[in-house]
């Protein structure tokens, strides 16, 4: 481990609780607490089996999903090429989260104990790659609540409230009315902010509201909101050249 990484880890340790990294205990060199129930059935090796399964899923999704390929291309074109081994890790997390983005190490965490389906892994990778893209493109400051709110609005907008909600959250009703969609994005973004920061609902809501118009309108690098059961995912990948992602 390089000195730089060591330093970043130390910093994580100090600020972990405040910035939500206690949700990812393995970030701090610890291990997720295994409950007696897990131990009874699986012994201590389950974590390693989970990790291997998770890594296989990640590799499969990256190879097969047009959406993830689009994000990989977009990141590469923005000068932030993703090295799967270096930038994406499977770890055990607290059960309130499925994934995360750690800006200090520029790593996406896929929660191996929570992501047991390809569709969920795709959802996590896509969501966290939006954060990675924003961090790369805008030098996002994750400690700034408005910056965080903005990237969560974008992740909710581009994924969860349309296409991905059907896969990940089992929500089958289409959001046909514009303000219903906007409300979904706001609610989801507020929940995401609350999941990783110890702020009040009021603070989270104010941060989301204060940056909503410009962040909701920013559809890079997808260029369109993905609709459920549509060809949008493939079309967005085919049209990636129009957005300057030429790899």
In the complex, the residues that contact Zn ion under the rule CB under 5 A are 152, 155, 192
Shortest spacing between CB 143 and Zn ion, in angstroms: 15
Shortest spacing between CB 150 and Zn ion, in angstroms: 11
Shortest spacing between CB 195 and Zn ion, in angstroms: 8
Q: Is 91 a catalytic residue?
A: no
Q: What is the DSSP letter of 168?
A: I
> How far is Cα 12 from Cα 78, in angstroms, rounded to an integer?
26
User: Phi and psi at residue 109, in whole multiples of 5°?
Assistant: -100, 125
Nearer to Zn ion, 195 or 235 (CB): 195
Q: Which residue is nearest to Zn ion (CB)?
A: 192
Burial class (CB in 10 A: 0-12, 13-18, 19+), 92: buried
Nearer to Zn ion, 88 or 155 (CB): 155
Residue 49 half-sphere exposure toward CB, CA atoms < 13 A? 6
Shortest spacing between CB 56 and Zn ion, in angstroms: 24
Active-site hit among 26, 91, 128, 152: 128
- Ordered DSSP codes for 191-241: HHHHHHS---HHHHHHHHHHHHHHHHH--TTTSSPPPTTSSHHHHHHHGGG
CA torsion sign for 90, 92, 97, 102 is negative
Active-site positions?
A: 128
């Amino acid at each position: 481990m390089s000195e730089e990484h060591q330093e970043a880890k130390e910093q994580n340790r100090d600020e972990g609780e405040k910035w939500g990294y206690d949700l990812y205990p393995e970030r701090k060199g610890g291990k997720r607490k295994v409950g007696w129930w897990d131990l009874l059935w699986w012994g201590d090796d389950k974590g390693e089996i989970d990790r291997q399964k998770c890594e296989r899923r990640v590799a499969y999704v990256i190879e097969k999903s047009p959406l993830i390929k689009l994000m990989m291309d977009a990141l590469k074109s923005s000068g932030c090429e993703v090295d799967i081994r270096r930038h994406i890790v499977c770890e055990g997390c607290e059960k309130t989260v499925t994934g995360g983005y750690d800006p200090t190490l520029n790593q996406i965490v896929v929660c191996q104990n929570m992501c047991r389906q390809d569709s969920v892994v795709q959802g996590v990778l896509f969501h966290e790659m939006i954060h990675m893209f924003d961090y790369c493109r805008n030098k996002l400051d994750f400690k700034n609540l408005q910056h965080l709110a903005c990237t969560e609005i974008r992740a909710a907008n581009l994924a969860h409230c349309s296409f991905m909600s059907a896969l990940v959250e089992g929500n089958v009703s289409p959001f046909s009315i514009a303000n219903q969609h906007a409300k979904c994005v706001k609610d989801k973004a507020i929940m995401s902010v609350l999941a990783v920061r110890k702020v009040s609902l009021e603070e989270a809501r104010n941060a989301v509201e204060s940056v909503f118009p410009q962040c909701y309108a920013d559809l890079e690098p997808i260029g369109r909101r993905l609709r459920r059961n549509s060809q949008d995912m493939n079309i967005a990948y085919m049209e990636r050249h129009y957005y300057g992602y030429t790899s």
